Amino acid sequence: MNSPTPPVQHFIRTVIDNDLASGKHGAIQTRFPPEPNGYLHVGHAKSICLNFGLAQDFGGRCNLRFDDTNPEKESTEYAQAIQEDVQWLGFQWAGEVRWASDYFEKLYEYAVELIGKGLAYVDELTPEQMREYRGTLTEKGKNSPYRDRSVAENLDLFARMRAGEFPDGAKTLRLKIDMASPNINLRDPVIYRIRRAHHIRTSDKWLIYPMYDYTHCISDALEGITHSLCTLEFEDHRPLYDWVLDHISVPCHPQQIEFSRLELHYTVTSKRKLLQLVTQGLVSGWDDPRMPTIHGMRRRGYTPEGIREFARRIGISKSENVVDMAVLEGCIREDLEAKAPRVMAVIRPLKVTLTNFEASVTASRSAGFHPNHPEFGERDVPIAKEIWIEQDDFAETPPAGWQRLTVGGEVRLRYSYVIKCDEVVKDAAGNVTELRCSIDHDTLGKNPQGRKVKGVIHWLSAEHAVPAEIRLYDRLFTDPEPDGHKDRDFLDFINPHSLETVQGWVEPVVANAAPETRYQFERLGYFCTDRFDHQPGKAVFNRTVTLKDSWAKEQG
């Protein structure tokens, strides 16, 4: 077994190394805190690999904690999918799954503590008024007229907010920090709002819900998180993270560290835009194999090992992390090259009749599933009078350097004989419908006498081949940055050829493979039996990735 790839050193590892060496922490505790309001995407995969990977590498622990503070957008379906994704990627969280809602009562108590210290107040400004009072990046904000309420009045109003005495949106609880702060996040941020919404875990118990910035830092502290890792858009929120923890009696004060988020070319990772693709029927669902979701990548046939290698390869930094899709595809391709059994399939079949086929003379051969892995075993590759080849492997007028089949030309059938094309059969419209070829029976397992045959093509016996639905997936967008154009909608760049479904043929040995079984179809690419649609008697294969990166060449 190959030794694991050594981790790449980056600035967060350096911080942890120093913290452990200095004795600041005896062990590290990280967390992965998704909101269950959609399926996770490739950017989340980077965060999962970082948080869980660091915990593994340093012998620490990583919690899975759902940020379930926006009840209208959250669902049990999303929460379950997220748990599946983490485990499928090869990680396991410490202990039970945690939820921000586990701490709702404690969060309320901390809010009462802040009110008691004169550091929070109940406000009645409307959202429009609050925006007006907040100021701008260049203009200071101004204090709310409700900012100087007494502690007693604020405690009373906050308790009545919880009890449901006021309508939704009528009041909020705000921190009393500094309306003149150059950091807008510190201009008396809202930490509670009234919202009558059914919650997936607490049902209708709560009528007020805490805001993310308030909830997250306290949840981290209650769980003993040592290093709270998040993407760079939260860098300006760190002073608020620290302010809250500095002003309440929490058991510890985690360190928030930011890193750059992943921007992947030829896709979008905004949950809102991904949801738009789903709701408008532009994809078949969150797990459509063209989606950058972990569920979608899994269904397409990407491997957990390939995704983890991708996360390792792109690294962790504070600089912009824009990565071409070819890097991800390359990691998947490299992983599959070593582990996927190789078989033959024909996706655009052309009938070939072997005119001198003789059942008692023409022999079949066995072939290994992988040239570098004899332990994968072998299978019989049967031959018959009629075979299928790819339409692309025949040309009536071949270009220069052509090494496949043409009239009067020879090729070797993979694992079988050399054949010669003697005649072309066409329909009334002039389309080639059949080739009639002859076998050189003296070429099974050896080269022909007196001549050299360069071309080798894949094929299948028509008698033995199994029909299969083959889904040829490609990139969902034609532009590397579909959501990077101010004057264009990202949907303008949908690739009309991102999915082509064809009826092809596969070797009988793969027809009954379990869902999510991966193969290399020789000369065609890597394919995977569909996770849901592939069933006994109905073979369905998804193209995971081509054998080499041809996208740039095709688009050029």
Going by C-alpha positions, the residue among 134, 112, 116, 138 that lies closest to residue 125 is 134
Instruction: Give the percent of the chain with pLDDT over 70.
Output: 98
At position 345, the amino acid (one-letter code) is: A
Domain containing 129: what range? 103-214
Reported as a single tens digit per residue, the pLDDT across 32-41 is 999 999 999 9
Cα 106 vs. chain centroid, distance in angstroms? 34
**CB-CB contact of 44 with 9 (8 Å):** no
What span, in angstroms and rounded, lies between the C-alpha atoms of 193 and 146? 16
The tokens of 220 are what?
A: 């981290």
Q: Give yes or no: residues 384 and 501 share one domain.
A: yes
Question: In this structure, is residue 186 part of a structural domain?
Answer: yes
pTM for the whole structure: 0.95
Going by C-alpha positions, the residue among 50, 68, 484 that lies closest to residue 270 is 484
Question: In this structure, is residue 230 part of a structural domain?
Answer: yes
Q: Give yes or no: residues 234 and 275 share one domain.
A: yes
Q: Give yes or no: residues 426 and 476 share one domain.
A: yes
Q: Give yes or no: residues 306 and 317 share one domain.
A: yes
105 is catalytic: no
Going by C-alpha positions, the residue among 175, 162, 166 that lies closest to residue 121 is 175
Q: Give yes or no: residues 209 and 348 share one domain.
A: no
**Which residues does 255 contact at the CB level (< 8 Å), separation at least 6?**
15, 226, 227, 228
Q: Give yes or no: residues 249 and 185 share one domain.
A: no
**CB-CB contact of 213 with 237 (8 Å):** yes
Q: What is the pLDDT of residue 550?
A: 65
Q: What is the pLDDT of residue 556?
A: 41
> H-type helices in 257-393, by residue range?
271-279, 294-300, 304-314, 325-339
Where among 214, 238, 272 does a domain terminate?
214
Q: What is the pLDDT of residue 1?
A: 39
**CATH number of the domain residue 431 falls in:** 2.40.240.10
191-197's contacts with Cβ under 8 Å and 24+ in sequence apart are 191/111, 191/120, 192/111, 192/158, 192/161, 193/169, 194/161, 194/166, 194/167, 194/168, 194/169, 194/170, 195/71, 195/72, 195/168, 196/164, 196/168, 197/71, 197/72
Sheet containing 456-457: order of strands: 456-457, 410-413, 418-426, 432-440, 349-354, 386-390, 459-461
**CATH number of the domain residue 141 falls in:** 3.90.800.10
Q: What is the pLDDT of residue 22?
A: 98
User: What number of other Cβ atoms are within 10 A of residue 282's Cβ?
Assistant: 14
**CATH number of the domain residue 314 falls in:** 3.40.50.620
13 is catalytic: no
Q: What is the pLDDT of residue 230?
A: 97
User: What number of other Cβ atoms are within 10 A of residue 223's Cβ?
Assistant: 23
Q: Give yes or no: residues 353 and 456 share one domain.
A: yes
At position 549, the amino acid (one-letter code) is: D
pLDDT along the chain (556 residues), means of 10: 70 98 98 97 98 98 98 97 98 98 98 98 98 96 98 98 98 98 98 98 98 98 98 98 98 98 96 96 98 98 98 96 96 97 98 96 95 96 97 96 96 97 97 97 92 95 98 97 96 98 97 95 98 95 91 50
Q: Give yes or no: residues 445 and 551 share one domain.
A: yes
Name the active-site residue from 13, 73, 261, 365.
Answer: 261
Q: What is the pLDDT of residue 322?
A: 93
Question: In this structure, is residue 2 part of a structural domain?
Answer: no
The tokens of 140 are what?
A: 């200071």
* E-strand stretches of 237-391: 255-259, 262-264, 321-323, 342-343, 345-346, 349-354, 365-368, 378-381, 386-390
What span, in angstroms and rounded, lies between the C-alpha atoms of 405 and 421? 7
Question: In this structure, is residue 491 part of a structural domain?
Answer: yes
Question: In this structure, is residue 6 part of a structural domain?
Answer: no
271 is catalytic: yes
Distance separating the N- and C-terminal Cα atoms of the chain: 41
In total, how many domains does the chain have?
A: 3
Name the active-site residue from 174, 193, 271, 312.
Answer: 271
Q: Give yes or no: residues 210 and 220 share one domain.
A: no
What span, in angstroms and rounded, lies between the C-alpha atoms of 124 and 258? 34
What span, in angstroms and rounded, lies between the C-alpha atoms of 289 and 298? 8
Pairing of strands 418-426, 410-413: antiparallel
Q: Give yes or no: residues 323 and 358 share one domain.
A: no
Q: Give yes or no: residues 162 and 136 share one domain.
A: yes
Question: In this structure, is residue 305 part of a structural domain?
Answer: yes
Where among 169, 196, 214 does a domain terminate?
214
Question: In this structure, is residue 5 part of a structural domain?
Answer: no
**CB-CB contact of 218 with 245 (8 Å):** yes
Q: Give yes or no: residues 490 and 383 share one domain.
A: yes
Q: What is the pLDDT of residue 2?
A: 47
Where among 214, 232, 247 does a domain terminate?
214
**CB-CB contact of 52 with 94 (8 Å):** no
What's 36's DSSP letter?
S
